């Protein structure tokens, strides 16, 4: 008998019929003898609806009250889901963040989980019930409701699984697993059977939207196996686990892309100590995350600084950077929205030389110019002209043999 | 400087514009120097929407989960309202039932308030904030969310006012006060300036829908002045207070009516001890409330028993009564939905003889036959044929001089 934490996302509980279907699914599994704890998101669309209401009240909604508002979404689904389970003759008990409690810090709208006592969940399990936990929400030390940020229900599920020392945390979504790349732009993309936490983490950072980054970090830290699968089929999904020997045989596990970034170039910056700090401190103070940074030396003591920011923050970042540029005597500031980042990810890179140059070669052979490069131990990212995105993804997917059956298993 | 608890009902916070308008109203009052605590209902229609969702999951929704579900309605309004207040440059803090906490018993969907600690509300007031309290909800000793039943936000407001020892509890609604009768069927109905708790209680029991009964009981027990007024105008409403001398001069304060009851007659019941118990015990076991009961002696040891039940419960009550009737050897059971109850209410009746007979006389003069009569110290109710409802109300309203300006002030 296994203890399984199952998390169902917004599309899986988007309406009353889907909630009923998930309830049936959970009960089928329970009948097989497993203990199940369910973590639910809000119905798809509900969180956005509530945000729109908030924006009507206040252009920058108060964050404490935002959490009070948004946490109602999951409260509705856990109540409805528990009713559905009871209607099928099984017992369920809903748990809100404050009831378990899911203890967090006080960072409203992006709180972090600090502790999860398990006595109430264990008691419910002992009584034969299916505990149904509201995802995304917690409570801080002062008794205020907090939320964990977008995708926070994944984190709730992993944290609950870790706290309960569950055998596995199953993340149910509307796709049937993690793919070698986006099947929407690359028809030969294949489902990955098993992938390491590190690779999943890189993929989540690089634009793959199937799992929330913090949930993967959490799972990795506590070595909690994740099983990403579809709530609409019964086929096995992708297992996210600790790296093992077999994974190293695979050079590249996946190709990802992101169109969410924009590039800013500051031209002819005097190259002297303190310039980078002068440039980037005001940006980070505005809570804008800078991803890649490149500095080219050029003509005496003048240099060009190029970096990327989220596309949504481009206008604000440009405003800030232009002010700084004036102060430090830079020549010009140029923004560019039409870029994309394509990346290859794989733990096999650690032991195989030449992966990055193979990537550059593939892109070159397809006439794609590389604007920026960034590497880590297990990934290589290239910023390219946005119009080449699909071409680059398909070329890399084929070039590293990811379209070939069985390759990902080494 | 007064301490005022203001409760705004569902129509007053039905959409984001109305919430903003209420926020402005509250701030205007705050600016005048009063301390304000706001209690809010769910947006009009929201509770019914949630009930419909629940019924899709389970024909008889689990009551604990129902409370989890329904309490989200008020959670949304207090968050949005607090944002609106902050957007206008004032400070607000929302409070859910579990945060204050509003301690209740465990009777889900109809819980009763046991205690309300005031330290958090007082601290917020001291900080210059407007505390915004979710109506309708509380928490039981086990930490489960409870709700107080339909109209429960009125009770929350009065209980909070009592706990805080407020100067007055203002109940804002979509009518501008309590009327001598329903203006929709009697155009000469007038707003009552001041009425006693006892009269208000009788009126609420007899079909006047402006205040929830338990909130009036609560206010009476702790002598908390209620001010019923409109959130859409600035005119003073109706003050509900302890009975004073001036009120006794008024013979009749109001005429009420209800079409929510039905009549059951059990014919030729053997009149012996235990028969009433045999008849009414199974009905009360089915949680059906019997209002009026009349027993007529007739032909030897046979009697007719007539009583009223809520119209919605008639079919179920008839089924139960027919079974009992067979057992105890009654001749027949007859149900009648086409009845109405008209009532006159007034503390003045205590000191004035002949009020009841004047009522019977007025009805007789209009050709209205009385089917049942029930009296208390401060009210007389008559069951009549439903088709005479409007006629009876207008006749009584005029007959007791309620249409005359100034009369209600004696």
Q: What is the pLDDT of residues A5-18, one digit of tens each?
A: 999 999 999 999 99
Residue in B66, B83, B93 nearest the CB of A54: B83
In terms of CATH architecture, what is A244-410? 2-Layer Sandwich (3.30)
Q: Can you give the pLDDT at residue A273?
A: 78
- Shortest alpha-carbon distance between residue A60 and chain B (Å): 9
The chain B residue lying nearest A53, using CA atoms, is B16
Distance CA B348, CA B244 (A): 11
C-alpha Rg value of chain B to the nearest Å: 23
- Is B68 close to A75, i.e. CB distance below 8 A? yes
Residue in B54, B92, B144 nearest the CB of A83: B54
Q: Is A115 on the interface with B (CB under 8 A)?
A: no
CB-CB neighbors (< 8 A) of B72 in chain A: 72, 75-76
Question: Interhelix angle for B389-399 vs B355-365, to 10°?
Answer: 130
Selection from A146-150, A250-254, B162-166, B204-208 with the highest mean pLDDT = B162-166
pLDDT band (50, 70, 90) for residue A405: low
Q: Can you give the pLDDT at residue B206?
A: 81
> Is the per-residue pLDDT at B237 higher than 60?
yes
- Is A57 close to B145, i.e. CB distance below 8 A? no
Contact criterion met (CB below 8 Å) for A218 and A204: no
- Shortest alpha-carbon distance between residue B52 and chain A (Å): 10
C-alpha distances out from residue A42 to A76, A121, A352, A391, B363, Å: 7, 21, 44, 36, 58
Distance CA B171, CA B169 (A): 6
CB-CB neighbors (< 8 A) of A86 in chain B: 58, 62, 65
Q: Indicate if the alpha-carbon torsion angle B169, B173, B176, B181 is positive or negative.
A: negative
For the domain made up of B3-174, the CATH class stated in words is alpha beta
Distance CA A225, CA A247 (A): 16
Please state which of the ranges A234-238, B15-19, B50-54 shows the lowest mean pLDDT: A234-238
Over residues A278-296, mean pLDDT: 88
> Above pLDDT 70, what percent of chain A?
98
Residue in B64, B72, B86 nearest the CB of A72: B72
- Give the up-direction half-sphere exposure of residue B24: CA atoms within 13 A in the CB hemisphere: 11
Q: Is A152 on the interface with B (CB under 8 A)?
A: no
Counting one residue from chain A and one from chain B, the pairs whose CB atoms sit within 8 A come to 105
Interface mutation vs chain A, best among B21, B26, B50, B62, most A CBs within 10 Å: B62
Interface mutation vs chain B, best among A16, A18, A57, most B CBs within 10 Å: A57
Over residues A161-190, mean pLDDT: 94
Over residues A167-190, mean pLDDT: 93
- Is A69 close to B79, i.e. CB distance below 8 A? yes
Instruction: Please work out, in degrees rounded to the nearest 5, the angle formed at the alpha carbon of residue B197 by the alpha carbons of B193 and B202.
Output: 100
Residue in B19, B57, B92 nearest the CB of A20: B57
Q: Is B51 on the interface with A (CB under 8 A)?
A: no
Q: What is the pLDDT of residues B59-97, one digit of tens each?
A: 999 999 999 999 999 999 999 999 999 999 999 999 999
DSSP alpha helices (H): ranges in B144-274?
Answer: 152-164, 197-205, 213-221, 245-248
Over residues A56-79, mean pLDDT: 97
> Is the per-residue pLDDT at A410 higher than 50?
no
Q: What is the pLDDT of residues A340-377, one digit of tens each?
A: 999 999 998 888 878 999 999 999 999 999 999 988 88
Average pLDDT, chain B: 93
Strands A145-147 and A137-139: antiparallel
Q: Is B214 on the interface with A (CB under 8 A)?
A: no
Instruction: Please work out, in degrees rounded to the nearest 5, the angle formed at the alpha carbon of residue B68 by the alpha carbons of B67 and B72.
Output: 100
- Shortest alpha-carbon distance between residue B91 and chain A (Å): 11
Q: Can you give the pLDDT at residue B77?
A: 98
Q: Give the closest residue to A10 by CA, choosing from A45, A39, A37, A38.
A: A45
- Shortest alpha-carbon distance between residue B170 and chain A (Å): 24
- Shortest alpha-carbon distance between residue B34 and chain A (Å): 24
CB-CB neighbors (< 8 A) of B50 in chain A: 76
Q: Where in chain A is the domain with CATH 3.40.1160.10?
A: 3-174
- Is A57 close to B99, i.e. CB distance below 8 A? no
Distance CA A243, CA A259 (A): 29
Strands ordered across the beta sheet of B370-376: B254-258, B339-345, B379-385, B370-376
SS3 per-residue string spanning B218-249: HHHHCCCCEEEEECCCCCCCEEEECCCHHHHC
CB burial of residue B250 (10 Å; 0-12, 13-18, 19+):
buried
Report which secondary-structure segment, H or E, holds A154.
helix A152-164
Q: Can you give the pLDDT at residue B21?
A: 97
- Shortest alpha-carbon distance between residue A1 and chain B (Å): 28
Distance CA A355, CA A339 (A): 23
Interface mutation vs chain B, best among A17, A65, A74, most B CBs within 10 Å: A65
ipTM: 0.86
- Is B53 close to A87, i.e. CB distance below 8 A? no
């Amino acid at each position: 008998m296994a203890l399984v934490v199952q998390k169902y996302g917004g599309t899986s509980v988007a309406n009353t019929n889907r909630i009923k279907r998930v309830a049936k699914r959970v009960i089928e599994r329970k009948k097989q003898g497993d203990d199940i704890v369910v973590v639910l998101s809000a119905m798809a669309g509900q969180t956005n609806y509530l945000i729109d209401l908030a924006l009507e009240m206040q252009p920058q909604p108060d964050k404490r009250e935002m959490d009070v508002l948004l946490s109602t979404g999951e409260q509705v689904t856990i109540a409805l889901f528990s009713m559905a389970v009871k209607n099928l003759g099984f017992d369920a008990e809903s748990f809100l963040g404050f009831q378990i409690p899911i203890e967090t810090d006080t960072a409203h709208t992006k709180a972090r989980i600090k502790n999860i006592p398990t006595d109430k969940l264990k008691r419910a399990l002992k009584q034969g019930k299916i505990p149904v936990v509201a995802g995304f929400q917690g409570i801080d030390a002062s008794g205020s409701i907090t939320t964990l940020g977008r995708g926070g229900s994944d984190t709730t599920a992993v944290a609950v699984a870790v706290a309960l020392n569950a055998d596995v945390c199953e993340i149910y979504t509307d796709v049937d697993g993690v793919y070698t790349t986006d099947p929407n732009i690359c028809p030969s993309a294949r489902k990955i059977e098993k992938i390491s936490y590190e690779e999943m983490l890189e993929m989540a950072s690089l634009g793959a939207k199937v799992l929330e980054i913090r949930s993967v970090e959490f799972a990795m830290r506590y070595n909690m196996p994740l099983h990403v699968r579809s709530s609409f089929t019964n086929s096995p999904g992708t297992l996210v686990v600790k790296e093992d020997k077999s994974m190293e045989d695979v050079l590249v596990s996946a190709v990802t892309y992101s169109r969410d970034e924009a590039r800013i170039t500051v031209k002819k910056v005097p190259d002297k100590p303190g310039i980078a700090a002068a440039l980037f401190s005001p940006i980070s103070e505005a809570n804008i995350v800078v991803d890649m940074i490149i500095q080219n030396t050029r003509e005496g003591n003048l240099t060009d600084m190029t970096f990327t920011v989220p596309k949504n923050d481009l206008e604000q970042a440009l405003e800030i950077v232009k002010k700084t540029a004036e102060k430090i005597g830079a020549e010009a500031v140029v923004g560019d929205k039409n870029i994309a980042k394509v990346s290859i990810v794989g733990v096999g890179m650690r032991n195989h030389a030449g992966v990055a140059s193979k990537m550059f070669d593939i892109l070159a052979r397809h006439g794609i110019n590389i604007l920026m490069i960034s590497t880590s131990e297990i990934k290589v990212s290239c910023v390219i002209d946005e119009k080449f995105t699909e071409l680059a993804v398909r070329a890399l997917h084929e070039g590293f043999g990811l379209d070939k059956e069985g390759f990902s298993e080494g």
